Chain A
Amino acid sequence: MLEVNRVRAGYGAINVLWDLSLTIREGEVTAIIGPNGAGKTTLLRAIMGLIPLSQGDIALHGDSLAGRQTWSIARHGISLIPEGRLVFRDMTVEDNLTMGAFPNSRRAGVAHNLARVYELFPRLAERRRQLAGALSGGEAQMVAIGRGLMAEPSVLLVDEPSLGLAPVMVQEIFGILERLKAEGRTIVLVEQNTHLALSLADHVHLMQAGRLLLSEPAPRVDLQRLHDLYFAR
């Protein structure tokens, strides 16, 4: 449903993605793994139109997203839960979540979706009036995920949700991702933790230096080979 086709993108004169192609299938969890600096975040930013493509195309359900503005892509049904969460620090938890439903077509569902997010993250319900800037890392990650869900996206892109979290919190976040998977959502998960990623994924892509080294269904992945590739230079 989401096609990345020979994409080249980067930051100004520095190119990061080199003719990268991959396909995200509906209803699957697609894991993208790879070492630091492989370009995973850059790929997600390119999908969201936060950085321009210098070559290639990205299409959702056959509609090209190239050259479209980020807010228009978001309204089109793709939610990015960004690396570093990027919560609105001086807004309350509830206002953060509500902003996820900003597109006109989503506003009617605010109350219903808020209730769903609070059911998913009871901890956020307790802190709904608190400023998001005062949350712990794990809670901020919950806000970021909840905010992304408020838009009822057809594709959810999640960038390193475990980053900087205590192991208990990582488990909790992955428990939620499992629930979302069980609901049949389409999820793209970028993750450094290979084991966690493999436990959840239907399909795995390994990235290095802006290229795909490996694309395989998760059950077929040979961990030893994956690790060899991961650390190869």
Chain B
Amino acid sequence: MTELILQSLYSGLLVGGAYALIALGLALVFGTMKIINLAHGELVLLAAYVAYTAESQFGLNPLASIPFALVIVCASAVLVYLLVSRIRVNRELNSLILTFGLGIILTNAVLIVWSANIRSTSSAWLQDAVVLGPLFSMRSEVVFFVLSLALAGGLWWWLSRSWYGRAVRAVSSNRDAAKLMGIDPVRTELVSFVVAGVLASVAGVAIYSSSVIQPALGHALTIKAFIITVLAGIGSMPGVLLGAVLLGVTESLTVTLASSALQELAGMVLFLLVLFVMPNGLFGGARRRG
């Protein structure tokens, strides 16, 4: 029993890497534009299907398909941005409706192009077992977990050290003040969408490589990312990482101890529980004023 629990903690941790990338992208865009991109999960899904096509049609290892996913997903992210930025009135609400619609369009486009069949990688190399003491995983899970950590580290560096990364934080923190510093918020918003696209691309290929994909997955991923972002306390990067692992672990424990039918519900229960105890999220603290 302990072994089973340890194993599911480990699996949850590994899947948390991809979840973190998705949630970080959602949070980044929320920061600069104060909108929730409900089509974000579909961008991840798109990356997953690009990896599928690259593998099934051209025999590419999913890792090698990342550059293609980057191009296609970032272009789609820019497209979403261009549409959202056209909203002139009541952006908070209207952007929800718009991105929800875009998500549906994307899901159906995926359905038309790739059909409703469940897909997963056929790469034996990625599916090989990696044994770590009593713990077991596929090679893809470990590879992409490490890649996710590296990407999160890179994002942290970018946000805290680079000019544009810091501009993204400045715009998130106080838009008018950022303009007074000579920062063009429009360009910053676009940058945040593209970076979110980069994170979504890797996450999508990770999910394709370690799990199964089908067109409805995008929507489920958006919900997960939203849960994690709110759990984290909006605007906290360590919070997002912790929240992502927490969600991954909760899901995998639920699958191990109860039933896989309850997996999605478990995330919701976690969400409500945490918000009940800590209304500002795990890392929300006393901030979030003014």
B163 at interface by CB-CB < 8 Å = yes
For B, the interface residue count at a CB cutoff of 8 angstroms equals 21
A133 at interface by CB-CB < 8 Å = yes
B171 to chain A, nearest CB (A): 9
Beyond A89-B287, A90-B287, whether A74 also contacts B169 by CB under 8 A is: no
Flag if B287 contacts A99 (CB, 8 Å).
no
Over the window 144-183 of chain B, the binary record of Cβ atoms lying under 8 Å from chain A Cβ atoms (1 yes, 0 no) is 0000000000000000100100110110011011111111
Contacts of B128 in A (CB 8 A): none
A75 to B176, CA, bound (A): 15
B134 at interface by CB-CB < 8 Å = no
Flag if B176 contacts A91 (CB, 8 Å).
no
For A, the interface residue count at a CB cutoff of 8 angstroms equals 27
A88 at interface by CB-CB < 8 Å = yes
Q: How many A-B pairs fall under 8 Å by CB?
A: 72
Contacts of A107 in B (CB 8 A): 163
Q: Which of B69-85 contact A (CB under 8 A)?
A: none
Flag if B182 contacts A75 (CB, 8 Å).
yes
B261 to chain A, nearest CB (A): 40
B134 to chain A, nearest CB (A): 41
Contacts of B169 in A (CB 8 A): 88, 90-91, 95
Flag if A151 contacts B174 (CB, 8 Å).
no
Contacts of B182 in A (CB 8 A): 71-72, 74-75, 102-103, 151
Flag if A86 contacts B176 (CB, 8 Å).
yes
Flag if A82 contacts B177 (CB, 8 Å).
yes
Contacts of B179 in A (CB 8 A): 50, 69-71, 74
Q: Which of A80-137 contact B (CB under 8 A)?
A: 80, 82, 86-91, 95, 98-100, 102-103, 107, 133
19 contacts between A and B (CB under 8 A): A70-B179, A71-B181, A74-B180, A75-B182, A80-B180, A82-B177, A82-B180, A86-B176, A88-B174, A88-B177, A89-B174, A91-B169, A95-B169, A98-B166, A99-B166, A99-B167, A99-B170, A99-B183, A102-B181
